[in-house]
Structure 1
Amino acid sequence: MPRLVSAADANRQFSEILGQAVQGETVIITRRGAPVAQLTPLGRRPADEARDQAWDRLLATLEKGLPLGGHRFDRDSLYDR
């Protein structure tokens, strides 16, 4: 979830906010309570990389299969009739 920061606070804390964006956080800057700008990281976010790694682990587990009651269960057996 993006962090909301007033324009005045963004001005005072720019280095800190910039560092948060570098770490992958999106910061929305508001003026009088209304969003006026968005500071986002350039390129891939760390969260994107973590999500990609999680998908890779899940797919590897599905390829390998899971033991259920002595039988192997894998993705292909879902379609066996």
Structure 2
Amino acid sequence: MEEAVSAADANRKFSLILRRVREGRSYVVTSHGQPVARIVPVGKNKGVAKSAREALLSHLERQPLVNAGSWTRDELYEDEG
């Protein structure tokens, strides 16, 4: 189970939190009550990036192709300002 810790407390107690993470604990860092990050042992989320990448690629493969015509390099980098 993950323990919630505010960003301010995580900052003040970072060394302690790292020691506890080394022991196997996990933390959810919150800012204004909203979760913003996780601090977990390195091996705990092995494969998360791989499954996220596979999910993204699968989603992109299902998207319809869009014909945007041909663009020149100058048109792509045109400054509107």
TM-score by length of 1: 0.52
Q: Which has the higher strand share?
A: 1
Equivalent residue, structure 2, for 1:2:
2
Count of residues in Structure 1 that have an aligned counterpart in Structure 2: 44
Structure 1 unaligned regions, length at least 5? 45-81
When the two chains are superposed, the root-mean-square deviation of aligned CA atoms in Å is 1.0
Q: Aligned equivalents of 1:35 and 1:43: distance in 2?
A: 21
Structure 2 unaligned regions, length at least 5? 45-81
Identity %: 48
Q: Aligned equivalents of 2:4 and 2:41: distance in 1?
A: 15
Structure 1 ranges of 4+ moved more than 3 A: none
* Partner SS for 2:42: coil
TM-score by length of 2: 0.52
* Partner SS for 1:37: strand
